[in-house]
Amino acid sequence: MTPPLTGITPTTRPTRNVMNCGAIGDGIADDTAAIQKALTVTTGFVSVYFPRGTYKITSQITWDPYRVELRGDTATIHCEMKTPATYAIRVASSATAAPDLPRTTPVSPHPTWAKNRGIHFRSSNNSNGLTCGGSPGTANGTKTSWDIRPTLTAQVVLNAMVFQGFAVACRVTTGATALRFRDCLFTENSTAVLVDAADTALARTSVHGAHVSFNGCDFTKNAASSWMVEARGGQSVLLNNCSLTASAQLLYAGDTSVVSLVGCIVTNAGTVYPAGTSTATIQVDQSASLHLRHSTLKLNTAGTGTLTHAIQVASGAAASLDLCTVHTEKITALAAGGGRVRVTRTHPLALGGSGTTGSDALSTLLALNDQHNRLSGGVKNPTAWTRTTGVLTAPPTVAPTTGIMANRNVLKVAYTGTAESELSVTVPLADGTRQLGYRFDLIREGAPSTLTVKQVTVRFFAGVDAPTGPVLRKIVEKPGTALSSNAWSTITAGWNLDTLAQNSDLYRWATITLTVTGTTAGSVLAVSEAYVNAFG
């Protein structure tokens, strides 16, 4: 515990009981004025005590955490704002300092050895909860001193609090920094935490939402159409040993925000998404970055209303997973979007999501974009593909804009007979590759036929510049997929190579071969959206 600067110790701090200030605590009487009276302190430091009960407030109250410590005995503050979308509690320091004081001078003589704890904040009419901020201050013309010194709400610690039923449970805005939430519960809110964008005029000079951390907190039962944790404005947010469960949209990072999850568990049962919302559990937008370490993601555990991706990463954003475990069900890939995703020492189990079942080796794909495609150019690079029969045709320079081929690059093989045929592609593997997966969209054209992908064979080779030597390992999948002429069929599979019998460190190349039966003279196999991921 950090000692106080003023000589006041936790054992000698004065205490106010809100009932002695006129609060009733029966959940019916309006206790707004009484609570504000208890929280109004102009000098010194006071511990404000809430006995067991329900305290109703109907308009915003202000709490200065540098003057007042909140202590509750399983007390509930029922926030029923008369004005919609009003924040019930404004958390802001009233401490000021002379403009000529050095910047290292504390803005308050009362640091956060305060133990704010034990209060249940609740709303039944979708009011907002806490808004935390300060004032950015004004520098002089030469930027060498302060005309008006900034006042920060910083180093505030909230312990064992509950936030329930709010539109926005907790908002962090300009002038708030290094806020810490410990062992708190956020439940049944539309948005649990919003660290919003700084005021445009102050964004370059103000401290805004830096180093907001949540330790041992539970986030659960969020509204399906809102982000449970939403970070904007270029701030850093840390979730350590937290759980995020039972929400369609768990986390959003935007602008240049940095969000880190360490030792967390993220669970999504598979929710039906409202129209127009993201279909990813996590979205990393603009130039933000997301880092997950020592964490577990369990997605689509209900197997219905399933996600197509776990993380949506914009082209200017980035995400990384290290030492994580990912359990997915019926998922297309871990990530979508054009941004870079780095996965190391992580085991993404597909649990049947890749189109095959019954093997512990199954894994999901990383991302379906050019950033992560080991098959350079996909079907746009016909020289990467070989076939045993038929004529190979490269995609047209301009993709069609109508019909089933609309906006697709399509590689075609035109057959001249009925012999079984193979179509193969070879890709390089990175050193230390632990996961390998493929995905192809297929359709048949031309003369009537029963084109069927009988099996897919993956062969691994050694070699520096090209595959050399014998086949080190062979995996055979037998999808038996009969192709349609009016709808695309997708074949996809992936494996955790560490679960295979042979040392995967020896693998440097992989050849993927599609065995096709049911060909006839004039029948055509069309291939699109071809991806091969190797990572881990």
Task: Give the model confidence (pLDDT) of 377-386 as tens digits.
Answer: 888 888 899 9
CA 396 from centroid of its chain's CA atoms: 38
Domains and CATH numbers, the chain: 378-535 (2.60.120.260)
The answer to whether 367 and 503 are in contact (CB under 8 A) is: no
| Count of residues in the chain | 536
Burial 108-131 (b: 16+ CB within 10 A, else e): bbbebbbbbbbbbbbbeeebbbbb
**pLDDT tens, 23-43?**
999 999 999 999 999 999 888
Q: How confident is the model at residue 3 (pLDDT cuts 50, 70, 90)?
A: very low
State the average pLDDT over residues 251-255: 91
Residue 267 has pLDDT above 60, yes or no: yes
DSSP state of 399: -
Q: Residue 514 — pLDDT band, cuts 50, 70, 90?
A: very high
Range ranked top by mean pLDDT from 206-210, 298-302, 307-311, 448-452: 448-452
Going by C-alpha positions, the residue among 235, 222, 232, 210 that lies closest to residue 163 is 222
Average pLDDT of the residues in 70-85: 92
Q: In sequence order, which residues have a C-beta less than 8 Å from that of residue 118 and are 6 or more positions away?
A: 50, 71, 72, 73, 74, 75, 159, 160, 161
- Greater confidence, 481 or 235? 481
